[in-house]
Structure 1
Amino acid sequence: MDVFIARQPVFDRHKRLFAYELLYRSGMGNAFPGNVDPDEATHTVLAHILFNIGLEAITGNRRALINFPENHLLQGTPHQLPTSSCIIEILETIEPSEEILAVCRELRDKGYILALDDFDFNPVLERFIPLVQIVKVDFQLIDQEHLTECMERMRKYPGVSWLAEKIESHKEFALAESLGFSYFQGYFFNKPEIIKKRKIDTSKLVLLNLLAEVSRAEINLGKIEQLLAPDVSLAYKLLRYINSVYYSLINKVTTIRYALIYLGEQGTRQFVSLAVASELAEGKPTELMRLSMVRAELCRLLAGSAKDGHEPSQLFLLGLFSLLDAMLDMPMSEVTSKLPLTREVKDALNRGEGPFAPYLRVTTAYEKGDFSRCVDTLRILGITSETMINSYFRAVVWADLIDLGL
């Protein structure tokens, strides 16, 4: 049975990563059944997490928000998970019976953080609030005036932190923060904040020239060294990269030349692409760069599994640069006009068209937990669900191991 698991970031007020919510489905097979039993799904996913993958491999040692159906709470399933790394989500469909409230009290007393999911300010569900530390609210479900009134009323619970779900723009983030929310979930962080006409500054144009150099059919490592050496930030990133856990070298590499020789042409192309994207994303939430890295490696791995013969390194660039508009707060078409990218990559980034577009579609569908759309697109690519799932976890682990000083 295929077990689809993705992670969605949760941020604090400073747009720093606080935790990941685990999005999951099990038993999808060749189609997406709308009536998957939640108890069976939770059991399958937890077993997969605990015994096959490992929680730290999915979350990179961050906390994980995991929702539990009523039966699993009553059966004590959350006790299988460590208190230090798990947040237990109580689904909004669970009635606050005395038995359930006693379970919540026991979990809280044992050190678990509890979160109430999709709270709609229903007085019945309010009985949970004294027992939980986090309350999640669907920001798209309640109109602003009513939400303002409700949040004012909730001030009587000073020990609770409020999490706004489905925050999809920077404007919504600012509004939610003003209403008293402490945590934020949604894809606002990977949207461009286009306030005024911007230009790419001179220092970033130098980075693009470096990218152009490694995009040649044959690259000159000596020329790359000359371009890298004067840039202290890039040189530092290169040495962190080559000495990261991912490579696990016995002896530390201390010179740019040796690092480039060790990496070779393909490795140098990959490093420069990552480093350039990292520099362009400076000042943005670090999760933006991390997500770019996951997308890049996932697209590369999928290209290697597909039978269409596309060059995996080009798909790596597609995933890596898929968030450039958010990094630079500029329209994607304007950014790509200055980049030495192939037509296939530009068509996919600018218009979601061309032979590379399905790779980006399947990647973004998976990360959002839209597994039905993901499966449909996998069929187009001729890639199995199992390959997709394994590739996703490999990409997540790779992105968490690579050290660019994020």
Structure 2
Amino acid sequence: MDTFIARQPILNQHKRLFAYELLYRGKLMAGQPGFDGDQATSSLLTGAFLTEGLETISNNKPCFINFTQELLIKNIPAVFPQTKIVVEILEDVQPTEEVITVCRNLKEQGYTLAMDDFVYAENLKPLIELADIIKIDFRLTPVDTIQETLSILSRYKLKFLAEKVETHAEFGKALELGFSYFQGFFFATPEKIRIKEIAPVKTSLFHVLTEINRKDVQTERLAEIIEADVSLSYKLLRYVNSAYFYRLSKVKSIVQAVAYLGEKEIRSFINLLIISEISGDKPVELVRLAAVRAKFCSLLGEKSPDNVAHAELFMLGLFSLLPAMLDYPIKVITYKLPLSKELKRALVHGDGPLGPYLQAAIAYEQNKKDRCLEALDAINVPLASVYEMYLEAIHYAEILTNI
């Protein structure tokens, strides 16, 4: 069975990254006939720790990983470093004597324990007493039930994590209720969709964004734009001399860096850095997600026989999150930018020849396997190659967001 691993961010009350949940991406997904949770977690752990290295996937943050009853009884979590994982106890795990003993030992060894998709029941008390974090599905659980659960559990020393938080209103409500951690893509959606003026600083950056995406802009002009900005210059030199390129000799000038990367790569780089500046008041994870999505889309293009331009697909992934960064409708944003008709169509309507690339990237990161497979089929990209591309996109994003 092919192994695919994706990650979903878990943010704290200040919208800063706290951890990731690692999600299994195999031929069968949870809830489908024949799905084996033990095999899923084993494959995930093998891929994450033994094959790829956890640092590549997790950015050195803790990783929430699901453990079934069988894997807990076998004490599989103890094989892995307690500082690297959060042991996520699935909702169907029964608090048997064996399970409680293993969990107590893990707790004594310094592991963090979380209970997934929590619904209160009296028989769960032994596990609750050992748990550090309780995860509650914020969309499926009525607010009254959540309040009652939090009240019952108030006597325990626990932190609460709201899962499937998809809007800023839901984030606000969960925060008000007392949750400490939040999982979902609320941070990647606009806070307010309304016609308004963009802040002056963002407007200036938006003008630069417009200029560098004109088809007639020469490489020399791109170099001038970078040289005129100390921050861009510094970050470009750090990027081109980073481990991502494994260079033996250092690049010491902007002209040399531009020549080394080439027009397509340098354009993508400036796009990403300017968008990072534009979203300075947003969670860092939003920029990281944009970088992953941009690189992932461009890698899908390289694998597809359709021969779509790298720059188009990179901008497709990157600009797909501009509404969340600017709190501005995508239709208005694309009207102001000199983008191709195909790119605008994919961003605004999600269809056209470029639409499936963005659909595949979003579906993969959001754990929507059927939609992802449908999009991959439309661009003739085999599923077996997606995991490696996703890892490369993550690696690329981590380099860029840490320079």
Provide the TM-score with structure 2 as the length reference. Answer: 0.93
Equivalent in the alignment of 2:14: 14
In terms of mean alpha carbon deviation, does 19-28 or 269-278 score higher? Answer: 19-28
2:279 is aligned to 281
The SS at the match of 1:181 is coil
- 1:110 is matched with 109
For 2:389, the equivalent position in structure 1 comes to 391
The Cα RMSD (Å) is 2.1
Partner secondary structure for residue 119 of structure 1:
coil
1:100 aligns with 2:119: no
Question: 1:227 maps to what in 2?
Answer: 225
Structure 2 equivalent of residue 54 of structure 1: 53
Match of 1:316 in 2: 314
**What is the CA–CA distance in structure 1 between the aligned matches of 2:112 and 2:174, rounded to whole Å?**
22
Residues paired across the two proteins, number? 402
Give the drift of 1:19. 0.7
Query: Following the alignment from structure 1 to structure 2, what is the Cα–Cα distance between the partners of residues 152 and 40?
Result: 36
**Counterpart AA for 1:13:** Q
Residue pairs, 1:161-172, within 5 angstroms: 161-172=159-170
Find the counterpart in structure 2 of residue 153 from structure 1. 152
Indicate conservation of the 8 Å contact 1:2/1:26, yes or no.
yes
Equivalent-residue separation in structure 1 for 2:335 and 2:27 (angstroms): 43
CA distance in 1, matches of 2:380, 2:28: 17
**Further displaced range: 19-28 or 364-373:** 19-28
- Structure 1 255/201 Cα, relative in aligned 2: closer, same or farther at 3 Å? farther
Cross-structure match for 2:130: 131
- Provide the C-alpha distance between the structure 2 equivalents of 1:372 and 1:221, rounded to a whole number of angstroms: 41
Which of 275, 298, 301 is residue 300 of structure 1 equivalent to?
298
Mean CA deviation greater in 42-51 or 180-189: 42-51
Q: Which moved more, 1:6-15 or 1:369-378?
A: 369-378
Q: Does 1 or 2 have the higher relative contact order (CA < 8 Å, sep 6+)?
A: 1
> Is the aligned partner of 1:34 residue 2:33?
yes
Paired position in structure 2 for 1:119: 118
Alignment partner of 1:245 out of 240, 243, 251: 243
What SS does the corresponding residue of 1:130 show, helix, strand or coil? helix
1:142 equivalenced with 2:126 (yes/no): no
Counterpart CA distance in 2 for 1:47 and 1:258 is 41
Seen in structure 2, the aligned counterparts of structure 1 residues 196 and 216 have a Cα distance that, compared at 3 Å, is: closer
- Any idea what the Cα deviations from partners look like across 1:122-181, whole Å, max 9, x if unmatched? 222233111011110111122112322322332211x21110101111111111111111
**Bigger Cα displacement from structure 2, 283-292 vs 382-391:** 382-391
SS at match of 2:346: helix
Q: Distance in 2 between matches of 1:211 and 1:163?
A: 37
Deviations 1:16-50 (A, max 9, x none): 10111011143449xx9532121222223222223
Q: Does 1:350 align with 2:348?
A: yes
Deviation at 1:89, TM superposition (A): 0.4
Counterpart amino acid of 1:127?
A: P
| Letter aligned with residue 266 of structure 2 | T
List per-residue Cα deviations over 1:56-112 (Å, max 9, x = no partner).
222121111000110111011112211111001001101111211111000111111
Give the aligned residue type for 1:41. Answer: A
Cα distance in 2 for partners of 1:195, 1:364 equals 20
For the residue of structure 2 that corresponds to 1:353, the secondary structure is coil
Q: Which amino acid aligns with 1:72?
A: L
Give unpaired runs (5+ residues) of structure 2.
none
Which deviates the most, 98-107 or 145-154? Answer: 145-154
Q: State how far apart, in whole Å, the 2-side matches of 1:106 and 1:59 are.
A: 25
What residue is the counterpart of 1:236 in the other structure? 234
Is residue 2:86 matched to residue 1:73? no
Contact 1:192 1:328 in 2 (8 A): yes
Comparing 311-320 with 140-149, which one deviates more in the overlay?
A: 140-149
Identity of aligned residues (%): 42
